[in-house]
Structures are given as C-alpha cells and as structure tokens.
A and B are shown apart, each in its own frame.
Chain A
C-alpha cells in the first residue's frame, strides 16, 4: 500500500479568522497549543474527531482544512 500525505490549511484559515491565535484554536478544539503547532508544521495528523472539531471551529467543510495527497503516480 502506498503511503500518502495529509496536508492542511490551518495556518491560512487562522489568518482569515482575524489572526486567531494557536492558543485560541487549541482551546476551541480541546488540544494543547503544541499539538496545533505540530499540525500546522505537518508533524502530526490528528484523529478524525479532532480534524472535524478543527473544521467546525473554522465553520468550513473538512476538505477545506485537510487534503490527502496520494503518492501514487
């Protein structure tokens, strides 16, 4: 099975929400600020539940926050 990569637009979406801070997003979602930093830096792919909570915090569909990039040609 080929391994894909999950990208996200969390940083951009925060910027468009009048520069919401990482701490504010972390509190809304129920994770630590360190986890928000790791997600933004593509160092951590959150669980489906946290991914939905992030999308809900920005009031956008899930696909607008996270995109799956397949490594298949």
Chain B
C-alpha cells in the first residue's frame, strides 16, 4: 500500500495514542477503586503525556529521514477541517455524557443509597477518555478521507 507522508504521520500518531493510552487506561482500571486523584494517578497521567510527546518526536524524526516531508496544501487542510468537525462532535458527546452521568449519579445518591460513587479520579479519567476518543475519531477521519478521497 502506497502511503503519503501525511498518512504515515497520522498512522504514527494513531499507533502512539492507542499504545500509550491503552496502557494508561488499563492501569487506571486497576486503580478504579481509588476515591482521590492522588500522586499515583497524576504521575501516570504525566507519564502518558510525556510518553506520547517523546514517541511522536522520535517517530517523526525517523519518518522525515525516510521520506521527504511535504507541506500541507488545500486538500490536506480540507481533510483536517472535516476531521476536526468529527472530533469535535465526539468530544461534545463525551462532555454531555460525563455531565449527564454526574448529575444522574448525584440524583440517584440523594434519592437512595447507591454503589455509584462519583470521584475526582473517575471524572478526570472519563474526561480524558473522551478527549482521547475525540482525537482518535479525528485521526481515523483523516485516514478515511485520504484513502477514499473527497468527492
């Protein structure tokens, strides 16, 4: 499969996100019982962010040495716009779900004792999850339009 520089760049970002955040959320699930978002949680989050940055920089250096970087033209910008639109919808949907979930959990807790406890740890990770999903939607949309074309 003949991939352009932009497609290779997007694929690299996609892989880095899946690997690093896959690992992060697998870890977060193991600590789901924690009520506070303490030092360990913040440490894991900072590690994930730094890991993403380092992997992206190393990957893009290797990519630039392997294939000549191409400046973006109008087609790249148009595809990026469509990708950001889809990513925004995913992020907005996630934000509404988190807000709705918190309201429902608080109402349920007030009405009757429940096992659903809204903790800072849960909220931070849910918001982060939807941010990551929105970015994945953006990257996948870009790959889709690069492959299928804009007709």
Question: Does chain A have a CB within 8 A of B110?
Answer: no
Establish whether residues A41 and B149, one from each chain, have CB atoms under 8 Å apart when the complex forms: yes
Bound: A46/B73 CA distance, A: 11
Q: How far is the CA of A59 from the CA of B150 in the complex (A)?
A: 26
Q: Does A35 contact B (CB under 8 A)?
A: yes
Rounded to whole angstroms, the CA-CA distance of A58 and B75 in the bound complex is 21
Which 6 interchain pairs have the tightest Cβ spacing? Answer: A43-B149, A31-B73, A34-B4, A35-B75, A32-B70, A44-B150
- Separation in Å of the B89 CB from the closest CB of chain A? 23
Which residue of chain A has its CB nearest to the CB of B148? A43
Contact A38 B73 (CB under 8 A): no
Question: A42 interface residue, CB < 8 Å from B?
Answer: yes
B30 at the binding interface (Cβ < 8 Å): no
Classify chain B's interface size.
10 to 19
Count of A interface residues, CB-CB < 8 Å: 16
In the bound assembly, the distance between CA atoms of A67 and B75 in angstroms comes to 20
How many A-B pairs have beta carbons closer than 8 Å: the answer is 40
Give A34's nearest chain B residue, CB to CB: B4
Chain A interface helix/strand/loop/mixed: loop
Query: Closest residue of chain A to B75, judged by CB?
Result: A35
Interface check B151, CB cutoff 8 A: yes
- Tell me, in angstroms, the Cα distance from A46 to B75 when the chains sit together: 8
B110 vs chain A, min Cβ distance (A): 52
Closest Cβ–Cβ distance, residue B2 to chain A (whole Å): 9
- Partner pick for B150 among A31, A32, A45, A50, CB 8 A cutoff: A45
Asked if A31 contacts B149 (CB within 8 A), the reply is no
Is the Cβ of B6 less than 8 Å from the Cβ of A50? Answer: no
In Å, the complex CA distance between A12 and B114 comes to 71
A32 and B7 CA atoms in complex are apart in Å by 13
- Please report the C-alpha to C-alpha distance between residue A31 and residue B19 in the assembled complex, in whole angstroms: 33
A18 at the interface (CB under 8 A from B): no
Q: Does B113 contact A (CB under 8 A)?
A: no
Q: Are A32 and B149 in contact (CB under 8 A)?
A: no
Task: Determine the distance from Cα of A57 to Cα of B149 in the docked complex, in whole angstroms.
Answer: 24
Q: A32-B4, A35-B75 are in contact. Are A45 and B70 (CB under 8 A)?
A: no
